[in-house]
Structure 1
Amino acid sequence: MRFRFRFAYYMVGFIMGLFFVAMVLSGKDARCNYFPNARVLNDLRTKPFNFSDKAKLILAQKWVDTTDIKNTLTYGDVDFDKSNKEAEKGKLYIIEGKTTKNQPIILEVINYSDKAVLRDIIKKQN
């Protein structure tokens, strides 16, 4: 059998396989969080999220809002050198992100087994 016929059979089977995999995974809420940064951020987003009193005071200052917090928890970078430490019976995570005005911020989030608490919001100096 010639190469082009073998290649054509291969491509037909490959495309049919992709079609079936897409059908199986399209109805599910499947996520591929293989990297540690994505796993931590996904875990924090899926838990009930609370704000400490200090974080509420900073949010009242209006230079940062909850949209910036959500974006940082979606697209931010976890600083693992400073994170994953025990704090108040949970684990502390330091997450770097930006506001909608492109101002760098740092979030200190304590991850408990049943909830996540935003402890502090720090305006990062350039």
Structure 2
Amino acid sequence: MKFTQRLAYYLFGILIGCMFLVYFFGEKKTEFCYLPNCRVLKDLRSKPVVYSKEAEAIFKEGWVTNDDVRNTLNYGKVDFDKSNIKEEDGKLYVIKGRNEANETIYVEMVNYSDKVKLKSITKEVK
């Protein structure tokens, strides 16, 4: 059997295998979440959020909304240099995201075993 025939059989098998994987894993709505940033954000999204008094005051100012915080938890980037610090009974995480006005915001959240506390939200100073 020539090399081109073996390559064609191999590629055909790969194609059939990929079709099966897409069919089976498409039904389960699985996601690839093995990188540290993704794992932290997924863990924070999976728990109920409790707001601190400082965070509630910032929401009343109007430059940031609850949707901005949700979008930061979906698409933000965790600053690991400032994060993973023990605070109270949990760990502090600083997440960089954007608000509706496309300004850079930093969300500080404390991750407990059963809940997440939104500690504060700050704008990036230019």
Identify the residue that residue 21 of structure 1 maps to in structure 2. 21
- How far residue 29 of structure 1 moved from its aligned partner, in angstroms, is 3.2
The equivalences for 1:83-102 within 5 A come to: 83-102=83-102
What amino acid is the match of 2:25? L
Q: Identity across aligned pairs (percent)?
A: 45
Q: Any gaps of 5 or more consecutive residues in structure 2?
A: none
What amino acid is the match of 1:124? E
Relative to structure 2, which stretch is displaced further, 8-17 or 26-35? 26-35
Identify the residue that residue 12 of structure 1 maps to in structure 2. 12
Q: Any gaps of 5 or more consecutive residues in structure 1?
A: none
Secondary structure (helix, strand or coil) at the match of 1:27 reads: helix
What amino acid is the match of 2:79? D
- How far residue 6 of structure 1 moved from its aligned partner, in angstroms, is 1.3
Identify the residue that residue 104 of structure 1 maps to in structure 2. 104
Number of residue pairs aligned between Structure 1 and Structure 2: 126
TM-align CA RMSD: 1.1
Identify the residue that residue 113 of structure 2 maps to in structure 1. 113
- How far residue 18 of structure 1 moved from its aligned partner, in angstroms, is 0.4
The CA distance in 2 between the partners of 1:11 and 1:81, in whole Å, is 44
The CA distance in 2 between the partners of 1:39 and 1:95, in whole Å, is 13
- How far residue 92 of structure 1 moved from its aligned partner, in angstroms, is 0.4
The CA distance in 1 between the partners of 2:90 and 2:29, in whole Å, is 27
Check if 1:77 corresponds to 2:77: yes
The CA distance in 1 between the partners of 2:103 and 2:14, in whole Å, is 46
